[in-house]
Amino acid sequence: MDGGCFCGQVRYRLLEKPMFVNCCHCSDCQCQTGGAFAINAIIETANVEILDGTPVPQAMPTSSGRPHIVWRCETCQTALWSDYGAREVMIFVRVQTLDKRHTIKPDAHIFIRSKVPWVTIPDDQPAFEIFYDLPTQWSAESLARREALNLVR
């Protein structure tokens, strides 16, 4: 699945399906996107191929104080993906930058404690006040892919 920035300078391709898709309603995502939430497709960095352009990193402040690097198009400043916690092996691709974004549905809604009141979460989608326990939400295949990255928990 291909995606890119608003101006078209940066284009990328997902080589595999995402491991998991979060719809994040935290106040940081609301402020950074200028919207009610951010939809993030979690995928291995090695499974994202840059086709054109060179995204540039931008360190962002967070309410938690943890690292958050947003990769943007240098020209139009579209946020393409994030690296949380300086884990260079896994990124969170902004689903809204995918060409076929309408085909991606969130697997879970997180930080609904700060959800704006006019957003309604479908009954068939798990929702969590803060976050979820990965083994109870992620598929066995996705957990195995994440485990292969040797991330420190």
Q: Which residues contact 2 (CB under 8 A, 6 or more apart)?
A: 11, 12, 13, 14, 51, 98, 99
Domain residue ranges of the chain, discontinuous segments joined by +: 2-147
Q: How far apart are CA 132 and CA 109, in angstroms?
A: 9
Task: Note whether 23 and 124 are within 8 A (CB).
Answer: no
pLDDT in tens, 7-53: 999 999 999 999 999 999 999 889 888 999 999 999 999 999 999 99
Q: What is the DSSP annotation of 12-25?
A: EEESS--SEEEEE-
Q: What is the DSSP annotation of 59-120?
A: E---TT---EEEEE-TTT--EEEEEETT-TTEEEEEGGGBTTGGG---SEEE-GGG--TT--
86: left (phi over 0), alpha (psi -120 to 50) or beta: left
Q: How far apart are CA 102 and CA 92, in angstroms?
A: 17
pLDDT in tens, 56-87: 999 887 777 777 899 999 999 999 999 887 57
Tell me the pTM. 0.91
CATH, range 2-147:
3.90.1590.10
